[in-house]
């Protein structure tokens, strides 16, 4: 019993970073090669193997898909060493497969954990509307308000003019009008092809130059983002935003409220949560994997929800030694 309590109180994120490091190192071998499936497969396999050393009894809530379509890290799969606390697990071995394949920025390997039963399961929802701001603007945003109104309120809360706000938006056709409206309101837009987990963390981080994230992105990525910003005082508002009638019908059939506005505390209902991310390609949040002789150099961050502690970790991995010790191809 004492061992179980010790493992429950431990900062699992410090072990979890080894999982994201392994996935990032495996995926980085396919950087710029134009094969996003190969990058994803390598990261998934490496992450699954690395999970075997983590002292949790984990169940994948958000994974690579249903068991019939995802041979590894599928929804419902058990991961971890098999002792320690029971945890819900969310994984994204490569957030930004296209970025890895074609050399774009902001691709990450990401894992989030929460005490069992405390992580929102979005089921068949693939997309949701998101609005993220840091602690200094928490409480002033409204996901239903026009973007201009939100910009004015955030600028006032931050003590700066709207013209100095930087807003992170994914560069997608669905966001063309949103981007125009932000610019017409006088704010500046930072666009990226992929990587709104990085964007959410940057918007939540007071040291970042990003003031807000807005737009429609992945629902699984929203859950992972909440694991990252839980305990920071930042605010994230979401609403499911199906991009097809098929997705809408599947959500309704699953009994999920499609119109509900969910915040961080609705999506992760405990402070017993952990997050780890490792950069695969270069980005504002984390450096990508770099190679120095026989070494692979990774840059990661970990977050513990209970304390709000954020750690940045640079690690030098001797790939020759690791290859002799592990079945992971580094």
Is CATH 3.40.190.90 correct for 127-267? yes
The predicted-structure confidence for 52-74, as pLDDT tens digits, reads as follows 999 999 999 999 876 556 678 99
Tell which residue, 202, 143, 199, has the closest CA to residue 171.
Answer: 199
Torsions phi, psi of 281, nearest 5?
A: -110, 165
Give the pair of three-digit tokens for residue 325: 């010790």
Tell me the pLDDT tens digit for each residue of 147-181: 999 999 999 999 999 999 999 999 999 999 999 99
- Work out the number of other CB atoms within 10 angstroms of the CB of residue 324: 8
pLDDT at residue 7, rounded to an integer = 45
Whether 306 and 231 have beta carbons less than 8 Å apart is answered as yes
Q: What is the pLDDT of residue 66?
A: 67
Query: What is the structure's pLDDT at 256?
Result: 97
| Two tokens, residue 292 | 């120095």
Cα radius of gyration (the chain): 19
> How many whole angstroms separate alpha carbon 122 and alpha carbon 251?
8
What distance in Å separates the CA atoms of residue 8 and residue 139, rounded to the nearest whole number? 32
Q: pTM value?
A: 0.93
- The closest alpha carbon to 33, from 95, 92, 94, 97, belongs to 97
Per DSSP, the chain holds a count of helices (H) and strands (E) of: 11, 14
For the chain, the domains span 2-117+272-325, 127-267
For residues 317 and 297, the answer to whether their CB atoms sit within 8 Å is yes
Tell me the two tokens of residue 201: 């963390």
pLDDT at res. 154: 98
Please give the Cα distance from 9 to 245 (Å, whole number): 44
d(CA 260, CA 266): 10
| Phi, psi dihedrals of residue 118, rounded to the nearest 5° | -115, 10
Question: How is residue 237 written in tokens?
Answer: 């508002």
Q: Which CATH architecture best describes the domain 2-117+272-325?
A: 2-Layer Sandwich (3.30)
Three-state DSSP at 259 gives coil
> With contact defined as beta carbons under 8 Å apart, do 303 and 309 qualify?
yes
Residues of the chain with pLDDT below 50 are 1-8
- Going by C-alpha positions, the residue among 39, 162, 184 that lies closest to residue 107 is 39
State residue 12 phi and psi, 5-degree precision: -65, -25
């Amino acid at each position: 019993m004492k061992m179980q309590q010790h493992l429950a109180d431990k900062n699992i994120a410090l072990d979890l970073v080894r999982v994201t490091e392994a996935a990032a190192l495996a995926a980085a071998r396919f950087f710029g090669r134009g094969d996003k499936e190969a990058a994803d497969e390598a990261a998934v396999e490496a992450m699954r193997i690395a999970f075997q050393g983590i002292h949790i009894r984990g169940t994948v809530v958000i994974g690579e898909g249903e068991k019939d379509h995802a041979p590894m890290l599928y929804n419902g799969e058990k991961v971890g060493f098999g002792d320690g606390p029971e945890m819900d697990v969310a994984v994204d071995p490569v957030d930004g497969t296209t970025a890895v394949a074609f050399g774009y920025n902001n691709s990450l390997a990401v894992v989030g954990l929460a005490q069992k039963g405390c992580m929102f399961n979005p089921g068949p929802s693939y997309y949701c509307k998101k609005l993220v701001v840091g602690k200094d603007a928490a409480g002033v945003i409204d996901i239903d308000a026009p973007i201009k109104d939100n910009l004015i309120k955030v600028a006032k809360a931050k003590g700066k003019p709207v013209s100095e706000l930087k807003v992170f938006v994914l560069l997608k056709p669905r966001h063309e009008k949103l981007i125009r409206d932000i610019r017409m309101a006088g704010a500046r837009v930072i666009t990226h092809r992929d990587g709104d987990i990085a964007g959410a963390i940057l918007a939540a981080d007071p040291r970042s130059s990003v003031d807000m994230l807005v737009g429609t992105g992945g629902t699984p990525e929203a859950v992972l983002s909440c694991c990252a910003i839980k305990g920071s005082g930042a605010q994230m508002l979401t609403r499911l935003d199906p991009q097809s009638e098929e997705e809408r019908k599947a959500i309704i059939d699953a009994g999920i409220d499609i119109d509900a506005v969910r915040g961080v505390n609705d999506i992760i209902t405990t402070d017993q949560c952990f997050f780890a991310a490792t950069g695969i390609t270069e980005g504002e949040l984390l450096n990508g994997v770099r190679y120095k002789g026989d070494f692979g150099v990774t840059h990661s961050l970990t977050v513990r929800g209970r304390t709000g502690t954020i750690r940045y970790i640079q690690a030098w991995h001797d790939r020759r030694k690791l290859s002799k010790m592990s079945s992971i191809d580094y």
